[in-house]
Structure 1
Amino acid sequence: MIIGLTGGIGSGKTTVAKIFSKFQNTTVYYADIEAKKLMITSNVIKENMINEFGENTYINGQLNTTHIADIVFNDKEKLKTLNEIVHPEVYKHLTQFVEKNKNKDYILYENAILFENKSDSFCDKIITVTAPIDIRINRVIERDKVSSKSVKTRIQNQWNNDLKIMQSNYVIKNKKLKDTEKQVFKIHNILTNQL
């Protein structure tokens, strides 16, 4: 069973995924982390990225994230192009991961843009993580050391939370860690009781 886990930037998807990862016989695929690794290791991605975004895309073999962010978060077409370059390779990698872990009770597939890139189509169930907008903005400012304006631009490039919630099986409200943990345990119990 593949369980999609999504939510807007700063909602706390990774925190929620880490709580899920503590359960026995489950595993987590972090799409953002794997995508970043593939952007450095996959020759197919590298070649397409340089063709599309220029020679400054990589510095000493490392992805120049500031250069990419400046381009894609100010141009929806460029963001779409970036996803079209990276997503097929991530999907291949995910397919291998699923095959390797098919004995697990379920695989949690953490992906910030699960709906945006239509990855929801291969999930059995979907969980959306939400948090108040001010908390989300403050979390990202603290985590990424960026301006409030920069965070708001990123939020505008993602689907509205209401749209995500409407297409989800479960919603986790992530404000206080203790409450979040209770919600995760409840969902885990529901998922494993269905097996």
Structure 2
Amino acid sequence: MIVGLTGGIGSGKTTVAKMFANFKNVAVYIADVEAKKLMNSSEKIKSALIKTFGDQAYKNNTLNRSFIANIVFKNPEKLTVLNAIVHPEVKKHFQEFVLLNQKASYILYENAILFETKNNLFCDIILVVSAPLKTRIERIILRDNTTEAEIINRMKNQWLEDKKILQSNYIIESLSLEKTQNQVNNIHKILTKKSC
């Protein structure tokens, strides 16, 4: 069983994914982390990014993230091009991960743009992590040392939270760690029973 985990930037998805990763019978795949690894290791992705964004796309053979982010978060067309290069490779990588983890009770697939990339279509169940907009902005400013304007730019490239909630099976409210953990524990019990 594949369980999609999504939510807007700063919602607490990664924290929730780590909580699920503590259960021994769950295999967790974090799309953003794996995409970053692939952008540095896949020659196919590297050459396509250099061809699209120029030699500055990589610095010392490592992805120049700030350079790319600066371009794509201001230009939706360039973001679409970037996604078209990276996402098919991440999808293939995830399919290999699924084959390697067939003994898990379920596989948790964490992806910030699960709906936007239509990856929700191969998920049996979808969880959305939710937090108030103000909280999300505060978290990102602390985490990324960025400005509110840059955050709003990034948010424009994601579906609104309400739209995600409407298409999800479970909502995890990410405000206090203790309450979030309790919700995760309850959902994990339900999912483990469903997978039997």
Q: Same fold (TM over 0.5)?
A: yes
Q: Which residue of 1 aligns with 2:75?
A: 75
Aligned to 1:184: 184
C-alpha deviations, 1:84-109, integer Å up to 9, x for none?
10001101110110000011000100
1:16-165 matches, within 5 Å, as 16-165=16-165
Displacement after TM superposition at 1:69 (Å): 0.7
Q: 1:119 & 1:127 partners in 2: Cα distance?
A: 13
User: Structure 2 counterpart of 1:162, which letter?
Assistant: D
Give the C-alpha shift of residue 23 in structure 1: 1.0
Note the alpha carbon deviations across 1:30-78, whole angstroms, 9 max, x for none: 1000000000000110011011111110000111111111110011111
Q: Secondary structure at the match of 2:28?
A: strand
Determine the C-alpha separation between the residues in 2 that align with 1:53 and 1:70.
Answer: 11
Deviation at 1:152, TM superposition (A): 1.1
Q: What whole-Å deviation, never above 9, does each CA across 1:1-53 have from its counterpart, x for those lacking one?
A: 11000000000000000111111211100100000000000011001101111
Q: Which amino acid aligns with 2:175?
A: K
Report the equivalent of 1:170. 170
Percent identity (aligned) = 55
- For 1:110, the aligned partner's letter is E
Cα distance in 2 between the residues matched to 1:40 and 1:191: 34
Counterpart CA distance in 2 for 1:171 and 1:149 is 27
Amino acid at match of 1:111: N
Task: Provide the residue aligned with 2:11 in structure 1.
Answer: 11
Work out the CA distance in 2 between the residues paired with 1:83 and 1:159.
15
C-alpha distance after superposition, 1:93-127 (max 9, x if no partner): 10110000011000100001101111111111000
Runs of 5+ unmatched residues, structure 1 = none
Aligned residues: 195
CA distance in 1, matches of 2:19, 2:81: 33
> How high is the TM-score relative to the length of structure 1?
0.98
- Large movers: runs of 4+ above 4 Å: none
CA distance in 2, matches of 1:53, 1:169: 38
Structure 2: unaligned runs, 5 residues or longer? none
Taking the aligned partners of 1:105 and 1:77, their CA distance within structure 2 comes to 39
